[in-house]
Homo-oligomer: A and B are copies of this chain.
């Protein structure tokens, strides 16, 4: 006998249970520290099997909204107020999503033996060959970002012969390297002469910097630095509220 199934069962049962609990947490009805009803109580309330409420609670635990402790129960977690999910979209997707025309231009490309600076930047010890690429992304023919990239040819030999004059190296890598992990570092600088010219901004104007370091199973793939005009571009990160 399911009593609390008032809402039309458009979503599935476990999703409704999850949404139900989530709502109570987000509205503050169940504040941090509050004990969620035990699984057997929810089973009784929703008139379903334990596996169903378990699935709902497990997902809430995975989303860090609740904490589950054996023998003790499930508790609303304190919000990690200041953590966020930042989505740095693919450059083309990012620009077209703004309803603007994407443009790409290769500025420089060079294959060379890795210098000490290159090795340091890629985080590799052994000497080897690398490709250094400089290019520019634009939106409606206005410079949007300049990209300065290093690809380790020991990890991605094909990059030596790839044609980056039409396809951005980021897109090319996305299609040629199966799966990667990455670390981003965000900082700010002021534009030097070269940057100012490339982005068509004033020398001394603020720039947002994203350094991305990418690897696959402990093997370095690429290191890239993206420079955005700081006053026009914005990264938006939305806290995952479920």
Give me the interface of A with B, judged by CB distance under 8 Å: 25-28, 31-32, 59, 62, 65, 76, 78-91, 170, 173-175, 177-190, 204-209, 212, 214, 216-217, 228, 230-231, 233-239, 241
* A86 contact from B81, B187, B237, Cβ within 8 A: B237
Residues in B with CB closer than 8 Å to A83 are 86-89
Listed from nearest, the 9 A-B pairs whose CB atoms lie closest are A188-B230, A86-B86, A28-B178, A181-B241, A188-B188, A184-B237, A188-B206, A182-B239, A186-B235
Residues in B with CB closer than 8 Å to A89 are 82-83
Q: Give the interface SS of chain A, mostly helix, strand, loop or mixed.
A: mixed
Residues in B with CB closer than 8 Å to A233 are 187
* A82 contact from B185, B209, B212, Cβ within 8 A: B212
Q: Known contacts A27-B216, A216-B27; is A79 also within 8 Å of B180 by CB? A: yes
CA gap between A177 and B31 in the complex, in Å = 8
Contacting pair A32 B237 (CB below 8 A): no
Contacting pair B182 A81 (CB below 8 A): yes
Residues in B with CB closer than 8 Å to A236 are 183-186
Contacting pair B82 A88 (CB below 8 A): yes
Copies of this protein in the complex: 2
Instruction: Name the distance in Å between A23's Cβ and chain B's nearest Cβ.
Output: 8
CB-CB nearest in chain B for A205: B190
Residues in B with CB closer than 8 Å to A179 are 25-26, 28, 31-32, 65, 76, 79
Instruction: List 10 interface pairs A-B (beta carbons < 8 Å), by A numbering.
Output: A32-B178, A81-B214, A82-B89, A82-B212, A84-B87, A183-B239, A185-B236, A186-B186, A186-B237, A190-B205
Residues in B with CB closer than 8 Å to A241 are 181
Residues in B with CB closer than 8 Å to A91 are 82
Instruction: Name the distance in Å between A220's Cβ and chain B's nearest Cβ.
Output: 14
CA gap between A32 and B178 in the complex, in Å = 6
* A84 contact from B170, B182, B228, B238, Cβ within 8 A: B182
Q: Known contacts A206-B206, A236-B185; is A26 also within 8 Å of B82 by CB? A: no
Q: Known contacts A190-B190, A217-B27, A237-B183; is A82 also within 8 Å of B178 by CB? A: no
Residues in B with CB closer than 8 Å to A82 are 88-91, 170, 182, 212
